[in-house]
A and B are shown apart, each in its own frame.
Chain A
């Protein structure tokens, strides 16, 4: 079948737009698989693209004549003939700072470093910069200085545009940093090419993954991350369905519900397992005004349907979060959107052998870091959701702090002092003003647990000698 698509669209989005929502079949039971995260963090949309299996079609742009096939289970490794001819020789790059991730944290860090004349390479998995800002159509909180009042995608446009003015910033799109190696090398896999990069410092701002929930039918097409639906409707203008059930009433669940209403999707209900709403009141008020019920002390029991979601059974829970027998209720819907939290993408730190700790408030295992955001791998910094789930505004601040911490080391004399002062001011604002809000108490507590003094970090490094260093 031949299909039309818009330039700049991902393959998965283009398929979804014409009603194709099964991308592959599972390897053991042959169950249909639909889109889930839509941002290249899961394996739901794997397809065979031009003969190459396991292609994440959600971050693969459409192009004329591209051949896309549904993948059935584990696909064979493509023959050399399939890929030969398009593979370019490896390239070795040296740079001051390598930034992994071109979202709010990564872009803010890059701008700060570029401003001080340092050479920067940004590695970005998506074919577009901006991370998840590009699908945020709501206005951001904060202050004027923090881009408050602007819509997320406008912030992405602004940061990308500012960055394009610097010729000391090199951007590698559709590229993934796959490993950190002895001698301070970072391996990067680009579309048709491998890079070996030797930076003097690394900032990992790889973002986060939407969390999954276990219930019967959770793999049916139509069960999606709330952010996945947000990508479809806000980034590509595709209505993800007609009737949605949203699981989770944190800010993501509430904001996505509002945006579903804007896209003309009926939101049947928002379920919240806790006895109170998770997100901020103003976001809840925005959906309540249009009649969306928020059912506290409720959760999903099962999703059902043949080739895709046709409905879900919900259930009330008691104080111990146990289902109350007899309280089940069926809701007809074609979307079940999970907004139950995010997990930091910290795979590079795990691979590098950084000292990490499981911190529930931050969504999973995160690298231990100093106030200046340096981890136990000397010269390897963390910023944004990868450092623990918070939100885009703090991600931008953290990106700048990591950048300034690095710049203060690489510059000398008077300039280094100025950079240091600027960083201290930002740190003070972040910890003592912004995070002073009781609404951010949980994330703040998590970030406190993950942050250690310089002395404690030295002790940790003695206890767990780093295998690699960028200093």
Chain B
């Protein structure tokens, strides 16, 4: 296989915002400003359509099981059900509608489980600690916790995990 033909994320395990955009996996700017919306960081044709069945708004489409998920940004309410159910833990919700803070919803499968109000580490796609943020919402489905954290606006597209100090 010629290395140049391999997308960067296959060498690093980190997908860039530009790559997500070029794959059509990012909502348009104006939609992001309107309110919470799902971002599915799923760039490969995995034979899986769990998100399609999971979405209570019917906002995720796929013709064949090996297609990439397509989100109808207008139908998506940013409820986070896909965050809880995506087997690849690749679904996130980003809310850029508030004036001074952004809110990122991530899956979390580690103990301890954070509680609302906790200050937790904010992690980037490369595991770097980007600062601390306050937990504003926590719920669970089949042992995947769905955690919403408050983050500085400029980190909304960077924070993709949290870490709770034991």
Contact = CB atoms under 8 A, between A and B. Distances in A.
Contact of A281 (B44, B126, B161): B44
A439 B13 contact: no
Given A285-B125, A289-B125, A275 B50 contact: no
A95 interface: no
Contacts of B113: none
B46 A437 contact: yes
A276 B3 contact: yes
A290 B127 contact: yes
Contact of B123 (A142, A281, A290): A290
A282 interface: yes
Contacts of B58: none
A236 interface: no
Contacts of A276: 1, 3, 6, 10-11
A148 B48 contact: yes
Interface in B1-20: 1, 3, 6, 9-15
Nearest to A432: B64
Contacts of A296: 11
B135 interface: no
Contact of B47 (A285, A286, A287, A433): A433
B45 interface: yes
B123 A141 contact: no
A280 B64 CA distance: 19
Contacts of A433: 47, 64-66
Contacts of A265: none
Nearest to A435: B47
Given A141-B88, A143-B53, A276-B3, A288 B48 contact: no
A281 B11 contact: no
B149 to A, nearest CB: 14
Given A262-B110, A277-B10, A282 B53 contact: no
B119 interface: no
A141 B14 contact: no
A275 B44 contact: no
Contacts, number: 128
A422 to B, nearest CB: 19
Contacts of B44: 280-282, 439
B22 interface: no
B17 to A, nearest CB: 14
A471 interface: no
B129 to A, nearest CB: 9
B contact patch SS: loop
Given A141-B88, A143-B65, A282-B88, A288 B13 contact: yes
Nearest to A285: B13
B137 interface: no
B163 interface: yes
Contacts of A275: 3, 6, 11
A440 interface: yes
A300 to B, nearest CB: 20
A144 B53 CA distance: 8
Given A143-B50, A289-B125, A290-B161, A437 B45 contact: yes
A144, A434, A437, A438: residue with the most chain B Cβ atoms closer than 10 Å? A437
Interface string A331-342: 000000000000
B106 to A, nearest CB: 9
Contacts of A262: 109-110
Most chain B beta-carbon contacts within 10 A, residue among A142, A283, A288, A290: A288
Nearest to B6: A276
Interface in A244-291: 261-262, 275-277, 280-291
Contacts of B53: 143-144
B38 to A, nearest CB: 15
Contacts of A439: 44-47
B150 interface: no
Contacts of A284: 9, 13
Contacts of A150: 142
A287 B14 CA distance: 10
B10 A141 contact: no
A138 B9 CA distance: 22
Contact of B14 (A151, A261, A280, A285): A285
A287 B47 CA distance: 21
A177 interface: no
A296 B11 CA distance: 7
B104 interface: no
A140 interface: yes
B15 A142 contact: no
Nearest to A297: B11
Interface in B116-133: 123-128
A138 B86 CA distance: 11
Contacts of A437: 45-47, 66
A145 B97 CA distance: 37
A277 B43 CA distance: 14
B46 A288 contact: no
A376 B165 CA distance: 58
B12 to A, nearest CB: 7
B156 interface: no
**Max chain B C-beta neighbours (<10 A), residue from A139, A290, A296, A439:** A139
Given A261-B110, A286-B89, A289-B124, 11 more contacts: A143-B49, A143-B50, A275-B6, A280-B46, A285-B9, A285-B15, A290-B161, A291-B128, A296-B11, A434-B47, A436-B47
Interface of A: 138-144, 148-151, 261-262, 275-277, 280-292, 294, 296, 393, 433-440
Interface of B: 1, 3, 6, 9-15, 41-50, 53-54, 64-66, 85, 87-90, 109-110, 123-128, 142-144, 160-161, 163
The 7 closest A-B pairs by CB, nearest first: A291-B127, A282-B88, A284-B13, A141-B48, A139-B87, A288-B13, A289-B161
